[in-house]
C-alpha cells in the first residue's frame, strides 16, 4: 500500500516522483480511473487541480468526503485551473465582506 499517491500531469508527476511519492501521470479522460485506483491503495491522495477539474463531480465529491484515505486537491503549478480564494469565501459565508 502506498502511503501517498499524486495524480496529475506528467510534468508535475515527475516532480513528485523526485520527492519519493507514487506519482501517476494521467492523460485527459483517465483521471477518474486513476482516482478510483488510488483510493484503494493509498492513505493520502493528492490530486492536481487541473486533473480534478476533469474528474466527474460526483466521484470527486465522494472522494473528498471520505474519511480514509484523505483526498486533497492541490493547486496546479501552471495555474491552468485557478485555486479558490479561501479567505474571500470564508468572509462571504460569514457575511463580513469588505
Domain region containing 76: 2-94
Domain count, the chain: 1
81, burial (CB in 10 Å: exposed 0-12, middle 13-18, buried 19+): middle
pLDDT band for position 12 (50/70/90)? very high
pLDDT band for position 55 (50/70/90)? very high
- In CATH, what number is assigned to the domain containing residue 66? 3.40.50.10580
45, burial (CB in 10 Å: exposed 0-12, middle 13-18, buried 19+): buried
The gap from C-alpha 96 to its chain's centroid, in whole angstroms, comes to: 29
d(CA 44, CA 78): 23
What is the reported pTM? 0.81
pLDDT at res. 84: 67
Q: Which of 38, 69, 70 is nearest to 51 (CA)?
A: 38
Amino acid at each position: 500500500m502506498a502511503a501517498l499517491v499524486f495524480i496529475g500531469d506528467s510534468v508535475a508527476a515527475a516532480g513528485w516522483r523526485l520527492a519519493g511519492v507514487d506519482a501517476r501521470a494521467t492523460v485527459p479522460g483517465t483521471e477518474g480511473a486513476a482516482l478510483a485506483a488510488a483510493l484503494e491503495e493509498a492513505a493520502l491522495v493528492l490530486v492536481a487541480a487541473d486533473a480534478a477539474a476533469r474528474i466527474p463531480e460526483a466521484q470527486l465529491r465522494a472522494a473528498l468526503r471520505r474519511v480514509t484515505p484523505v483526498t486533497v486537491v492541490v493547486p496546479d503549478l501552471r495555474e491552468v485551473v485557478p485555486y479558490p480564494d479561501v479567505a474571500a469565501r470564508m468572509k462571504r459565508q460569514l457575511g463580513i465582506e469588505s
